Amino acid sequence: MATENYKLLKKESLPALFDKLTASGKTIYAPVKKGDKTEFDVVTKYSNDINDEYIQTVQSLKETVFPKVEKLFDYKSDKTDTSIQEVDFSKFPQNVLWGLHPCDAAAFRPLDATFRWDYDDKYFLTRIKLTTVVGLSCSKHDDYCFCSSVDISPASGDGSDILLTKNKAGDYLVEIITEKGQEVYDMAKELFGEISDDKESYITDVPKKFELSELNKNLDGSFEAPYWLAQSMRCIGCGACAYVCPTCTCFDLQDEGSANKGSRIKCWDSCGFGHFTLHTSGHNPRETQSQRWRQRILHKFSYMPDRIKVFGCVGCGRCSRACPVDMNLSEHLTKIMEVPKHE
Amino acid sequence: MNEFEPKVVAFVCNWCTYAGADLTGTSRIKYAPNVKIIRFPCTGRIDFMLILKAFAKGADGIIISGCHPNDCHYTSGNFHAKRRWMVFRTMLDFLGVDVNRITFSWVSAAEGARWAEIVNSTVDAIKKLGPYDNYRNMVNQETEVNNG
Amino acid sequence: MDKLRQKTKELLSNNEVQIVVGYEEGTAGKARPAFISSPDQADTLIYDDRCIHNLAVYLTQHKLPGNTKIAVVASFPVMKSIITLASEKQLDENFIRVIGISKDNNIIEFKDFADIERYINQQDLTFTPEEQALIEKIDAMSMEERWAYWQNEFSRCFKCYACRSACPMCYCTLCITDFNQPQWVSVPSHKQGNFEWHINRAMHLAGRCIGCDECSRACPLDLPINLLTKKLSMDIQKQFGYSAGQSLTEPYALSTYKPDDKETFIR
């Protein structure tokens, strides 16, 4: 518990700040109350519907850098010539993602690692360069959260350009983390003050359910383990977990149009679908749900850290909340930890 | 004056309505040229998706026509089709699709004049309803650069 | 619950079945499906108002070796699903035991599927006032309002197919959305893709849906897509006198016809 110096953003300054951001051409996504849920939505002005005390939304904001439906290019073909029309990258929007929790902010790291893995994905990289993240630390959590188990703290600024922490007065302690964050501050200096306060006192404690490095070691050699079948029995093989996950990046490419003109589209897909790995030959290396469930876990907690040095999970808990049959991820991981390590 | 000329797609069965349309032609009966006729072996073969695809590709109106009940070349294809259309029409109406843009009819191989009447009245009705912009706007979504 | 656990222990100890599919405690006070493979696990089984998942979906998933005998805890919707699946020849009666749960939470030991069919037809099979009200609300809208309503709902859909995966009647090993020669149903979750998917789903379930509402419950975005299939179920019952889940032998409404089916719109 330590009192430190922070910049201060008073709640009553938010309307002016949002107006400045909108006026500068930025599109703001903020967590908005919808009934008894909170979901991210585009806002042009600040309003009292913006919720700074939500635990988690159903959908993540990965769609701002990895859209659900993204046109890659158009094509035109006549008797003699085929041509491709690229999308206009200069039209991609400048986005401010307001009020993301530290887990969501941290999710940009595995997204970045994946989209730079074997080639640089221009669509993702252009969008993320235009994105400013204003994070919001967590004052509460629920049973589904497990950020601390994947080495992310509910107070972490990793992945945020600015991190806000709500204090007892309802104002925000401000930490400027990156140059982009500094730009936002510089644009609206007069709205920020100074304050000494104890940030830690406002942060919720998310108990660790397992030790991440040990989980990673435990999964080594677990390919033939019998628990994959038992764990995956109730999984119905939909794509809900992959779609709400802020780090999942599986996609499909579809050509839509006619022989003469059309477009190539990238759209979301899920490794949980039965035909995800179906080959043209008819062979399917992952033809059972247990193989697909194993793939999901190993990909996020074993293959990704081993190959691209980043874990594919930020502990936000969305997958478990969205799952129609309660395939609680952290519960399954904890159970795996209870099994003696396989050689 | 640029009057709106609707595009109408007709899904017809080979043995009755298509033959009927042939008779319209050989009888030298003039009828609206807005219709594109697609020949099927039987109305029972008409998948409901074809109707959706026709709207998606730019049709403003649709005609579906086959043999009269008990006259189906394959005995019962049109009975199956009838049930399918009864359900599909309910579905479309429930979703707010304009079912007035779809004409269903039984036209036999001898009813050349009647085919002309069906086409003409359908085209007139669609002219009044205007182009099917609602559906087309829904389809054109995919060509917009999607910003998440 | 005690009787259920007792029955489970009995069935497993006698090796009459190898797996019992029921419900257990889940996260945050919810129930979830459970697969019990030994008598000592039987005490984790629960049954109460939270147990609403349609377990019949597991009967066609074939996750276990083909000769595995399964017992399934069957609420009323699950019973209807089982009869519908059986009428489509998807289930082998010799490998499935059904432990029914009556409205007053007693277990019913069904001898065979014909037994279940008899039980179902003794219950009130009309649509509830709540169900009718939901449909009437949409029927009362104008055509433009209906279009706007569904376009708005479908715009939220992201094609996760939870609705398809959770429905016991969606058991096709190659779904129409997987057909890519041609790509009949547009894949991306833009408005056209979503519209085509939901119409296909509703039409392929027309006359087969028993109204468990699992599709809507499974949907992570709470889309009211159960209303689509429910509307068609109501319509098919009115027009053809057929309802799914009530007969092992009556053919499915769209695979048959009556010469005097009455329509009002064919010229």
Distances from the Cα of A262 to the Cαs of B114, C159, C183, in angstroms? 39, 22, 14
Distances from the Cα of B54 to the Cαs of A71, A264, B11, C15, C118, in angstroms? 23, 22, 10, 56, 45
Whether B142 sits inside 8 A of C147 (CB atoms) is no
Q: Which of A269, A131, A293, A272 is nearest to A219 (CA)?
A: A293
User: Which of A180-194, A208-222, C53-67 shows the lowest mean pLDDT across its residues?
Assistant: C53-67
Cα Rg for chain C, rounded, in angstroms?
20
Tens-digit pLDDT profile for residues C185-201: 999 999 999 999 999 99
**CA gap B77, C67 in Å, rounded:** 40
Q: Scanning every residue of chain C, which has its alpha carbon at the shortest distance from the alpha carbon of B91?
A: C232
| Cβ-based contacts of C156 with chain A (< 8 Å) | none
**CA gap B145, C5 in Å, rounded:** 56
Q: Which two tokens stand for residue A26?
A: 């930025």
Q: Which of C234, C240, C170, C235 is nearest to C205 (CA)?
A: C170
Mean pLDDT computed over every residue of chain A: 94
| Mean pLDDT along residues A211-235 | 93
Whether the predicted pLDDT of B59 surpasses 50: yes
State the pLDDT at residue C24.
96
Q: Scanning every residue of chain A, which has its alpha carbon at the shortest distance from the alpha carbon of C51?
A: A325
State the pLDDT at residue B33.
95
Tens-digit pLDDT profile for residues A23-51: 999 999 999 999 999 999 999 999 999 99
Cα Rg for chain B, rounded, in angstroms?
16
| Mean pLDDT along residues C24-30 | 94
Report the percent of chain A where pLDDT is more than 90. 94
State the pLDDT at residue C180.
86
Residue A176 · residue A242 · CB < 8 Å: no
Q: Does A103 touch chain C (CB under 8 A)?
A: no
Task: Give me the residue from C166, C183, C193 closest to A324, CB to CB.
Answer: C166
Tens-digit pLDDT profile for residues B97-132: 999 999 999 999 999 999 999 999 999 999 999 999
Report the CATH number of the B8-141 domain: 3.40.50
User: Which of A196-210, B23-37, C61-75 shows the lowest mean pLDDT across its residues?
Assistant: C61-75
State the pLDDT at residue C182.
86
| Mean pLDDT along residues B24-31 | 96
State the pLDDT at residue B2.
65
Q: Does A267 touch chain C (CB under 8 A)?
A: yes
| Cβ-based contacts of A326 with chain C (< 8 Å) | 26-27, 30, 32
Residue B102 · residue B62 · CB < 8 Å: yes
Interface chains of chain A (3 or more CB pairs under 8 Å): B, C
State the pLDDT at residue B146.
40
Whether A68 sits inside 8 A of B148 (CB atoms) is yes
Report the percent of chain C where pLDDT is more than 90. 89
| Cβ-based contacts of B138 with chain C (< 8 Å) | 151, 191-192, 195
Strands B102-106 and B61-66: parallel
Whether the predicted pLDDT of A212 surpasses 90: yes
User: Which of A130-134, A152-156, C102-106, C132-136 shows the lowest mean pLDDT across its residues?
Assistant: C102-106
Q: Does C191 touch chain A (CB under 8 A)?
A: no
* Residue spans per domain, chain B: 8-141
Cα Rg for chain A, rounded, in angstroms?
22
Residue C146 · residue B96 · CB < 8 Å: yes
Tens-digit pLDDT profile for residues A279-300: 999 999 999 999 999 999 999 9
Distances from the Cα of C151 to the Cαs of A166, B135, C193, C194, C198, in angstroms? 38, 10, 12, 9, 11
State the pLDDT at residue B145.
41
State the pLDDT at residue C239.
93
Residue A342 pLDDT class (50, 70, 90 cuts): low
Whether the predicted pLDDT of B142 surpasses 60: no
Tens-digit pLDDT profile for residues C68-126: 999 999 999 999 999 999 999 999 999 999 999 998 889 999 999 999 999 999 999 99
| Mean pLDDT along residues A110-137 | 96
| Mean pLDDT along residues C237-254 | 92
Q: DSSP secondary structure string, A34-57?
A: ETTEEEEEEESS--TTB-SS-S--
Q: Does C220 touch chain A (CB under 8 A)?
A: yes
Whether the predicted pLDDT of B148 surpasses 70: no
Q: List Cβ<8 Å contacts ≥24 apart for B79-84.
A: B79/B44, B79/C257, B79/C259, B79/C261, B80/B44, B80/C254, B80/C257, B81/B42, B81/B43, B81/B44, B81/B46, B82/C257, B82/C261, B82/C263, B82/C266, B83/C240, B83/C253, B83/C254, B83/C256, B83/C257, B83/C261, B84/B46, B84/B48, B84/C254
State the pLDDT at residue C62.
79
Q: Does the predicted interface ipTM exceed a cut of 0.90? A: yes
Tens-digit pLDDT profile for residues C50-69: 999 999 999 998 788 878 99
User: How many other CB atoms are found less than 10 A from the CB of residue C25?
Assistant: 14
Mean pLDDT computed over every residue of chain B: 92
State the pLDDT at residue C215.
96
Q: Scanning every residue of chain C, which has its alpha carbon at the shortest distance from the alpha carbon of A276?
A: C178
Residue A340 pLDDT class (50, 70, 90 cuts): confident
**CA gap A134, A244 in Å, rounded:** 20
| Mean pLDDT along residues B21-42 | 96
Whether the predicted pLDDT of A214 surpasses 70: yes
| Mean pLDDT along residues C194-221 | 96
Q: Does A27 touch chain B (CB under 8 A)?
A: yes
Q: Does A92 touch chain B (CB under 8 A)?
A: yes
Nearest-Cα distance to chain C for B143, in Å, is: 10
Whether B48 sits inside 8 A of C199 (CB atoms) is yes
Biggest distance spanned by C-alpha atoms of chain B: 57
Tens-digit pLDDT profile for residues C132-183: 999 999 999 999 999 999 999 999 999 999 999 999 999 999 999 998 888 8
Q: Is C3 helix (H, G, I), strand (E, B) or coil?
A: helix
Q: Scanning every residue of chain C, which has its alpha carbon at the shortest distance from the alpha carbon of A240?
A: C160
**CA gap C130, C112 in Å, rounded:** 32
